[in-house]
């Protein structure tokens, strides 16, 4: 990926964070998702009074993109307000990311615009993916 594209995603995920609907956790998260064709979708966390219904920023961005016809992605950048830690996607979001491939980039940022990058599959080792359903099975008894 070009540095310019990375810088743009890092900036856009910070901006997306400003739309977070987070009255229960007071924890803002933003995401910026780069599709293979260059389109970028952003997302934020959207909480609910029935807490378990909360949708994370990463899944908001992915659902926006997939619902507009995109299934191939280059990278997703994520931002929070944590001063000293890069934001790390939750387990549910990691599973959502590997659905669309195990070797695209997750750019985990800090508010000072520094970041670390890992592949989707590195964040969820031994993951269950669509191909898993096609693996050989024992015959049914």
H-only helix segments in 46-118: 57-66, 91-98
4 has catalytic annotation = no
Nearest CB to ligand THU, comparing residues 25 and 39:
25
Residue 40: C-alpha distances to residues 14, 17, 45, 50, 134 (Å) = 14, 15, 17, 30, 31
Residues 65-104 that bind ligand THU (CB under 6 A): 89-90, 93
Choose the catalytic residue: 15, 58, 68, 122: 58
- Answer yes or no whether residue 56 interacts with ligand THU by CB under 6 A: yes
Tell me if 101 sits within 8 A of 131, measured CB to CB: no
Nearest CB to ligand THU, comparing residues 6 and 93:
93
Q: 17, 85, 72, 63: which is closest to 39 by C-alpha?
A: 72
- Shortest Cβ distance from residue 15 to ligand THU (Å)? 15
Which of 6, 57, 75, 108 contacts ligand THU by CB under 6 A?
Answer: 57
- Answer yes or no whether residue 22 interacts with ligand THU by CB under 6 A: yes
Distance CA 74, CA 63 (A): 16
Residue 36: C-alpha distances to residues 50, 72, 84, 96 (Å) = 35, 6, 31, 17
- Shortest Cβ distance from residue 105 to ligand THU (Å)? 15
- Shortest Cβ distance from residue 4 to ligand THU (Å)? 25
- Answer yes or no whether residue 58 interacts with ligand THU by CB under 6 A: yes
Interface contacts to ligand THU, rule CB under 6 A? 22, 25, 27, 29, 45, 47, 54, 56-58, 89-90, 93
């Amino acid at each position: 990926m070009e540095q310019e594209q990375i810088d743009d995603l890092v900036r856009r995920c910070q901006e997306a964070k400003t739309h977070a609907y987070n009255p229960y956790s007071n924890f803002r998260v933003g995401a910026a998702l780069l599709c293979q064709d260059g389109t970028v979708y952003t997302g934020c966390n959207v909480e609910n009074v029935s807490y378990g219904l909360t949708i994370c920023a990463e899944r908001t961005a992915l659902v926006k993109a997939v619902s507009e016809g995109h299934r191939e992605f280059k990278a997703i950048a994520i931002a929070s307000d944590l001063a000293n830690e890069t934001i790390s996607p939750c387990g549910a979001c990691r599973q959502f990311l590997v659905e669309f491939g195990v070797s695209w980039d997750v750019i985990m940022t800090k508010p000072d615009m520094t970041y670390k990058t890992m592949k989707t599959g590195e964040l969820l080792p031994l993951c269950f993916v669509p191909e898993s359903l096609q693996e050989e099975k024992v015959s049914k008894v």
